[in-house]
Amino acid sequence: MSITLIILIMTCAISYQALQNPTISSRLLFYPYEIKRKGEFFRFLTSGFVHGSWPHLFINVFVLYQFGTMAEDVFSMLFGEDYGKIVFIVFYLSAIIVAGIPTYFRHQDDVGYRALGASGATSALVFFYIVFSPWSWFQFPPVPAIVFGILYLAYSSYMDKKGADNIGHNAHLWGALYGLIFTLVAIYVSRPDLFDRLIAQLLAGPVSPF
């Protein structure tokens, strides 16, 4: 069984329990105020395995399913079968944690702020994909991956500054940037020769979606 499938099953199982029992959700979600005062640092990680609604869960699980297996296979190619799986686990879990750090410092004294979901990690997965397939076309929205990435960063930054909804756009932004940086560092450490191929692929420009 792939690591992606294991994470997917765990996320669905824990989220299901949390959706049925608000006490579980309250105990696991990202709550900077409690983290600072009670030292509940586990919330940085556990928040990535609970979701606020079924659509929220579906979107993140769908993205994990779409891009997780590809990332897992590429890490295995870069670092070998066994170490590649370990690197993938570190990549996914650390993305959840890192994506929440800026939000923690912003809201550590805000008693009313709470967040949950795996969006930081799934954003990292999307940008992992963009590095290796920048001109592949997304079905929705129908744009090349790299164009989607630029629009996604701009939108997340804009909505984060606007602060008009309760979505953690800041986590989306930092998760995406972390995914990009982690991917480039992983390539540099394991296969720096790939940079020439990736740059050539990027400079080749877009292809027809047909």
What's the pLDDT tens digit per position in 161-208? 776 555 677 888 999 999 999 999 999 999 999 999 999 999 988 877
**Selection from 205, 54, 86 nearest residue 135 by Cα:** 205
Alpha carbon of residue 65 to chain centroid: 12
Q: Which are the contacts of 173, defined by CB distance < 8 A and separation ≥ 6? A: 123, 153, 156, 157, 160
Query: At 142, is the secondary structure helix, strand, or coil?
Result: coil
Q: Which domains does the chain have, with CATH numbers?
A: 3-203 (1.20.1540.10)
How far apart, in Å, are the Cα atoms of 144 and each of 130, 135, 136, 171?
A: 9, 5, 5, 23
What's the pLDDT tens digit per position in 93-146? 999 999 999 999 999 999 998 989 899 999 999 999 999 999 999 887 889 999
Q: Contact at 8 Å (CB) between 24 and 18?
A: yes
pTM (2 d.p.): 0.93
Q: Using only the alpha carbons of the chain, give its radius of gyration.
A: 17
